[in-house]
Amino acid sequence: MSSKKVLKLRQSILKYNTELSNLKSDLETSEEANIKYNKLVIKKAICKKELDSARTSLIQKFFKKFAHNPNKDAKLICDYFKS
């Protein structure tokens, strides 16, 4: 992944950290602040996941694709319902 994208993701994470720290004082008193806080936590988690995937090399992605996944054979809840 390009360094511009990695830099943008890092800046987004820092921005979310500052916004989260500003909202922490209002969490107990305001329901709107609580909802906004939860949304920001989710956005921050998405950015962190994208950043982690950007750090993995192509070789790691290749082997991860072909590695045995023990949960692959497990039944999912969507397997029980046919649409």
What is the spatial distance between Cα 13 and Cα 7, in angstroms, rounded to a whole number?
10
Q: pLDDT for 58-74, tens place per residue?
A: 777 777 777 766 666 67
CA atoms within 13 A on the CB side of 78: 1
Helix and strand numbers, DSSP H then E, in the chain: 3, 0
- Name which residue leads in pLDDT, 24 or 59: 24
Q: What are phi and psi of 10, to 5 degrees?
A: -65, -40
Please tell me which residue, 57 or 46, carries the higher pLDDT value.
46
For residue 40, what pLDDT band results from cuts at 50, 70 and 90? very high
Structure token digits, residue 71: 């949960």
pTM of the full structure: 0.65
Ordered alpha helix ranges (H), 24-71: 31-55, 58-66
